Structure 1
């Protein structure tokens, strides 16, 4: 059996190629929308992709199942569990097989047995894998998707928080408990191949190790230590991270079918002036992807800064939305990768791109450009103590509860777009996060919302707490 692991660090998402070398056939498990790596790897190993399967309707990225089915005419193997609201509507237009608990299908000599494992979502399935060419006929491992991770389990609250299914969190948590009891009965030697790693918003304590075994998870995974359902439900629902709003769009597109990448209009590489970029700010969102330090020094009025780094996709999903066109300020070398990253979560409406060198056309006093101040604690401490500056913490709620500036107000960065109009304009704003990355994004958003004197704290709360200038305030609620 051939097993290849693919990992998207920006989405913390894992997918797999499983191949039978004897027959030259392969299947992709939980593919991302960019299917080129699967095609390249299959060719390199002499196998042909004939199938694609998913553990559930994903919420945090756009699946590549439709891309594979349309381009390679693969068979879709998809869940038929969970009731009428959780069906893959697009699948009927392609060769497909809907799966229920206990069903078996094969790719060459590799056998897949379906196990219904609801809890993260109602339709979630896991796949037991048996290598028909091995000496033993016992299963080798299990693809757990967003059911069991290394050190954690899938969150049960996304349907309520991201999709709006009222009252579903506790119901799903109880389903998760029962699914885990079934999981505990599988042999300890089975390998566990999960759908996400550390950093994913689909759980709260995911490990960074790519795979595990059932025996190891039974010993070390916090969620598998509970034998009381009520205590488990309480623990599972506590402390889950905020649910990004784009998750609801991912659910819909992965259920109904997204536009095929080949049909997306390519953005126009533009020349132009600062005036033309300012016109773009009236038509949609101008996204500047330069490092925060460069953006702070000089940027076009009305543009938003999300630096192109490991966190880019996360904050693009939180902040950009799907109802407005995007205009991209990025180096020509970065544009292809940025477009792939945006497309990975369905942000397909990039109208035009322009190298940000154009900003150098403007002098410091040009009203078409802006800047904000990056400050250290020594520079701003007096203003904080005298409350002559409004202090805004944009970290997560969990971070806020662990400790924050005594004078601070809290708005998590992902909610700043809708909360910004409620913030006061009568004094400067100091925005901070853990180390300075999120506060830089927040500063650009505040300027778009009309705040004229914005400052971002270099080093953030982490540096401040190490200096111990003030005892941290702890929220015990």
Structure 2
């Protein structure tokens, strides 16, 4: 048997390829939209991708299942659990088979037993793998998707918060408790191959280790220690982070079928004048330079999203799906940035301008960063300023500056009318990274006199500033 995992660090997303070396057939589980790694691996290892499956309809990234079926002709194995609102609308365009708990299918001589494991979503499936071609009669491992992670379990509130399914959070939590009782019955030696690692918004406290075992999770996973349903539900639902805005769109697109990517989709190289016009026309112009370079000088109306692991997440929060997108970046990074945007369905990248062109331009817009002691001094004239805390709700609830106004970064464009006119915003997060993005958003929407707190709330506490 062949086994390989793939990790997208931008989305903390895991996908897998399993192959039968005797027959040359391969299965891909939970493919990302960029299918190049699977095609490359299959060619290198001498496999034909004959099967494609998903554990559930994803909310946090755009699936590559349709793309892979289109390119390879592989058969889709998709969940037929849950109600009619959550069925894959594109399946009938391809060779497909619906799956329910208790079913099984083969990839060559590798057997996949289907377990219905609702909780994260009603249609969620897990796949128990047995390498019969290798002579085994017992399972080697289980692909859990967003059911069980290393150290955590999937959140059940996304359908309610991101898809508007009223009352589904508690129903999902009850389903999760029942699914976990069945998970505990699996042999301790069974390996656990989850759909995400640390950094994903699909759970509260995912571990960074990529795999585990059932036995280890029984001992160490907080969710498996509960024997009483009510207390488990309370703990599971409490403190879940805000789901990114783009999750709603991902559920819709993954259900209906993501658009197929154009192999020849080109991105126009633009000049400064064209980029400025793009801003005037209402396009999203994303400056991917560092926050330090952006602060020293940037084109008015642009948003600063440095290209790092958090790029796709914040792009999904802050960029509208009906906007064309223009980048300010190093030309060598454009393709990788495009893949990151496409991973969450932001497909309307139309152009880029080389960041060196911006660095060399005169009369750019700037912003100032202040220290904690400077902030304390400005507090004396607090009527002229408003402190804007852009951290998550859980961070705010734990402690915050006295007199601050809280608006989570991702919701900032929708709450600008809550920032009083005539006051200078002083923006902070925990360390200064998110507040730099927020500062760029405020400037792009017309709040030109904005200050950013260096070091964020951590620096304020170290200084000894007042907190509530």
Q: Summarize deviations over 1:413-463 as a string: whole Å, max 9, x none.
A: 010010112201222111011111100000011012211210111111123
Equivalent position of 1:176 in the other structure = 176
Equivalent position of 1:459 in the other structure = 455
Measured in 1, the distance between the counterparts of 2:290 and 2:170 equals 42
Matched, 1:469 2:467: no
Measured in 1, the distance between the counterparts of 2:45 and 2:15 equals 17
Unaligned runs of 5+ in 2: none
Measured in 2, the distance between the counterparts of 1:226 and 1:423 equals 44
Query: Does the residue aligned with 1:129 lie in a helix, a strand or coil?
Result: strand
Equivalent position of 2:16 in the other structure = 16
Q: Shift in Å at residue 48 of structure 1? A: 1.8
**Which stretch shows the higher mean deviation, 128-137 or 94-103?**
128-137
Matched, 1:424 2:423: no
2:369 to 370, 374, 391: 374
Measured in 2, the distance between the counterparts of 1:266 and 1:136 equals 49
Equivalent position of 2:301 in the other structure = 302
For the 8 Å contact 1:421–1:449, the answer to whether it is kept is: no
Q: Summarize deviations over 1:177-224 as a string: whole Å, max 9, x none.
A: 111111111111111000000111000011111011111111111111
Q: Summarize deviations over 1:21-69 as a string: whole Å, max 9, x none.
A: 1111110000100111111112222222111100000000011111110
Q: Shift in Å at residue 357 of structure 1? A: 2.5
Equivalent position of 1:281 in the other structure = 279
Matched, 1:392 2:388: yes
For the 8 Å contact 1:296–1:372, the answer to whether it is kept is: yes
Q: Shift in Å at residue 88 of structure 1? A: 0.6
Query: Does the residue aligned with 1:352 lie in a helix, a strand or coil?
Result: strand
In the alignment of these two chains, the number of paired residues is 466
RMSD, aligned α-carbons: 1.3
Measured in 2, the distance between the counterparts of 1:386 and 1:237 equals 41
Query: Does the residue aligned with 1:424 lie in a helix, a strand or coil?
Result: coil
Equivalent position of 2:70 in the other structure = 70
**Superposed, which structure 2 residues align to 1:256-267 within 5 Å?**
256-262=256-262, 265-267=265-267
Query: Does the residue aligned with 2:452 lie in a helix, a strand or coil?
Result: strand
Equivalent position of 2:337 in the other structure = 338
Equivalent position of 2:37 in the other structure = 37
Q: Summarize deviations over 1:222-278 as a string: whole Å, max 9, x none.
A: 1111111111111111000001111111111111111111267422122x233x322
**Which stretch shows the higher mean deviation, 36-45 or 436-445?**
36-45
Matched, 1:319 2:318: yes
Equivalent position of 2:443 in the other structure = 447
Unaligned runs of 5+ in 1: none
Q: Summarize deviations over 1:375-421 as a string: whole Å, max 9, x none.
A: 21123220024414211110101111122222311100010010112
Query: Does the residue aligned with 2:443 lie in a helix, a strand or coil?
Result: helix
Measured in 2, the distance between the counterparts of 1:228 and 1:32 equals 36
Matched, 1:402 2:405: no
Q: Shift in Å at residue 361 of structure 1? A: 5.1
Measured in 2, the distance between the counterparts of 1:102 and 1:453 equals 61
Measured in 2, the distance between the counterparts of 1:319 and 1:397 equals 18
Query: Does the residue aligned with 1:464 lie in a helix, a strand or coil?
Result: helix
**Superposed, which structure 2 residues align to 1:142-291 within 5 Å?**
142-262=142-262, 265-270=265-270, 272-274=271-273, 276-283=274-281, 284-291=283-290
Q: 1:189 to 1:273 in 2, by over 3 A?
A: closer
The TM-score, its normalising length taken from structure 2, stands at: 0.97
Query: Does the residue aligned with 2:331 lie in a helix, a strand or coil?
Result: coil
Matched, 1:354 2:353: yes
For the 8 Å contact 1:151–1:217, the answer to whether it is kept is: yes
Query: Does the residue aligned with 1:149 lie in a helix, a strand or coil?
Result: coil
Measured in 2, the distance between the counterparts of 1:363 and 1:127 equals 58
Measured in 2, the distance between the counterparts of 1:10 and 1:265 equals 22
Query: Does the residue aligned with 2:10 lie in a helix, a strand or coil?
Result: coil
Q: Shift in Å at residue 468 of structure 1? A: 4.0
